[in-house]
Amino acid sequence: MCGIVGYIGNREAYPVLMKGLHRLEYRGYDSAGVALINTNGQLNVYKAKGKVAELEAFVTDKDVSGSIGIAHTRWATHGEPNQVNAHPHYSESEQLAIIHNGIIENYAVLKEGLMKHGYNFRSTTDTEVLIQLIEYTKHTSQVDLPTAVQLALNQVVGAYAIAVLDRQNPNMIVAARKGSPLVVGVGEGEFFLASDATPIVEYTNKVIYVGDEEVVVLERGKEPSITTITNVKKTPEIQKLELTLNQLEKGGYPHFMLKEIFEQPQTLRTSMKGRVNVDANNIALSGFIDNRERFLNAKRIIITACGTSWHAGLIAMYAIEEFARIPVEVEYSSEFRYRKPVIHKDDVVIAISQSGETADTLAAIQLAKEAGAFIFSICNVVGASIPRISDSGCYTHVGPEIGVASTKAFTAQVTALTMLALCIGREKGTIAKEQYLRILKELDNIPEKISKIFHQNDRIADFAKIFTYAQNFIYLGRGYNHPVALEGALKLKEISYIHAEGYPAAEMKHGPIALISQEMPVVVIAPNCGTYEKIVSNIQEIKAREGKVIAIVTEGDTIVSNMSNFCITVPETEECLTPLLTVIPLQLLAYHIAVAKDRDVDQPRNLAKSVTVE
């Protein structure tokens, strides 16, 4: 979490940095700050608690001149979110300033050592320890800034993407990364750096993805230079950025989340393009084709992910076991990495991550890789850490997802995983040809069917207002739609701050039914498939206890729709694809309840889009 941005060139740095911070605000927004070196050689640092707008208000009467600078938007880990703990942090002498995304795990030991050498600390952050260490190293070893950064980072345990300014050298930014993302933009006589490419895209499409434990020096009039922290020289690999400015704007929608919900027909078409071929009756996933034997010989598939991506993994478990007949285990990355799991060489481990940077998922696949398993990742952000360390994978290609609540990434993950399940099943001969072809054709119809659901958006917005009173919600689903119930509940709680729980519908009577009263809205996902009859009985149990039922049913349904207080329909589809449709009304419901409660939909409290800390 945290967003970092830097600029060195001929322009005024401040406007570039502020625009960049706004783009990166999804990564954290509890405080922000900027450091600039002006033409008089002064290193000015300004910081404010709150969002980037608070920082802009704070600096209105300050000197923000200079063509070199760094800036930061924070999601607090060490130290409360206040002005002192905001980045950039000065060194003791105020000659150096640093911004940092990540965690210095051994900061306490390092701090103790520095205090013995007379260093004082203004903040309670781990980051200030690092800049003091860099300054201490620079002085005691009598080395230049890049070398001091290298030497200091050799003493650090943890994750970092950093950028450092030195007031004595207004022509250089030194940056480095390990575990946290860092991209350098290469323009004409200017350089940009940022946590992702969004602050860079409008200036240049030439980027360098900085590797783990690499230090990059950006100096006016010179080519970027990269070394490892152990001083091994690297050749910078300039890549072309596949991102457009349009993708980063709201395009007339009030929130990114709503834009991203409505983008899903198009994003799913893009995800399936070149992969689902109805005319050729074929699904082609290159990551599968190139590693066919690994999948076909797998005795077990382990899926590891967090949050919404974990829910997509649960849906994949149903699909892979049904079509490919390979046992699947779905693991929370944060548990998997610490619980000494048994991993075999012939296991396939699938990591799912929109950002490709989630720290726990990254650590989980590192563990699995060390144990010899084959790592396949499903990610959205091209070039992120998880796809880079995976053996193979499949990008979802939905474009930047900016709303903190994941929507279009989820449907694309489910689509990619369903394609994978079908590919394995087809090759293994564990799915009948007719069924494979039916699902393949139906996958192609899903975008249009999602568009049809949007016709009910105004009605959903109207009845969402009724539920702003609720303190709690229950979401129920069965089979493929049990994970959708979990996902619907997560969407509601993260953006509306209403407590919500998802359950397999039949689990109700083992406890949660005690919660049902007139006050309790119960969202029941009841499309026309396998367990429909059973879910009808579950609804009857809720009605008998006067719960308010909001049902998601298939078009033409009469039984559940007559039993429910509110009903949203989705078009008929194959059972394994129902999650791609049933999740849409739940995304809209959560969105409209949050808007009716006047919540900060795109940047809900305490959250960040990319969770790069444990």
Residues of the shown chain interacting with ligand M6R in the complex, contacts defined by CB under 6 A:
306-309, 353-355, 358, 361, 404-406, 490, 494, 610-611
Q: Is the CB of 43 or the CB of 351 nearer to ligand M6R?
A: 351
CA distance 157 to 84: 24
Q: Is the CB of 313 or the CB of 477 nearer to ligand M6R?
A: 313
Relative orientation angle of helices 408-428 and 264-272, to the nearest 10 degrees:
30
CB of 544 to ligand M6R, least distance (A): 33
CA-CA distances (angstroms) from residue 532 to 220, 476, 481, 527, 560? 66, 12, 11, 7, 9
Q: Is the CB of 312 or the CB of 553 nearer to ligand M6R?
A: 312
Q: Pairing relation of β-strands 68-74 and 31-37? A: antiparallel
CB of 159 to ligand M6R, least distance (A): 15
CB of 362 to ligand M6R, least distance (A): 9
Q: Which amino acid is at 364?
A: A
Residue 77 backbone dihedrals phi, psi, to 5 degrees = -120, -70
Q: Is the CB of 196 or the CB of 574 nearer to ligand M6R?
A: 196
For residue 88, is the peptide bond before it cis, meaning its omega torsion is within 30 degrees of 0?
A: yes
Q: Is the CB of 501 or the CB of 572 nearer to ligand M6R?
A: 501
CB of 586 to ligand M6R, least distance (A): 12
CB of 143 to ligand M6R, least distance (A): 38
Cβ–Cβ under 8 Å, residues 169 and 138: no
Locus of tokens 């285990």: 329
CA dihedral 248, 73, 158, 111 (to 10 degrees): 170
Of 540, 504, 496, whose CA–CA distance to 525 is shortest?
Answer: 504
Q: Is the CB of 309 or the CB of 390 nearer to ligand M6R?
A: 309
CA-CA distances (angstroms) from residue 510 to 183, 234, 489, 504, 513? 50, 59, 19, 11, 7
Q: Which of 2, 306, 379, 567 is catalytic?
A: 2
Tell me, yes or no, if 534 is annotated catalytic. no
CA distance 46 to 33: 5
CA distance 428 to 396: 24
Q: Is the CB of 351 or the CB of 535 nearer to ligand M6R?
A: 351
Relative orientation angle of helices 126-141 and 145-153, to the nearest 10 degrees:
120
Q: Which of 51, 111, 178, 609 is catalytic?
A: 609
Q: Which two tokens mark 16?
A: 């570039």
Q: Pairing relation of β-strands 472-477 and 499-504? A: parallel
CA distance 559 to 563: 7
CB of 527 to ligand M6R, least distance (A): 22
CA distance 106 to 315: 39
Burial (0-12, 13-18, 19+ Cβ within 10 Å), 596:
middle
| Closest residue to ligand M6R, based on beta-carbon distance | 307
CB of 360 to ligand M6R, least distance (A): 8
CB of 313 to ligand M6R, least distance (A): 10
Q: Is the CB of 110 or the CB of 364 nearer to ligand M6R?
A: 364
CA distance 209 to 238: 8
Tell me, yes or no, if 609 is annotated catalytic. yes
CB of 185 to ligand M6R, least distance (A): 22
Q: Is the CB of 247 or the CB of 277 nearer to ligand M6R?
A: 247
Can you point out the beta strands (E) in 413-539?
A: 472-477, 499-504, 521-526
* Residues annotated catalytic, as ranges: 2, 609
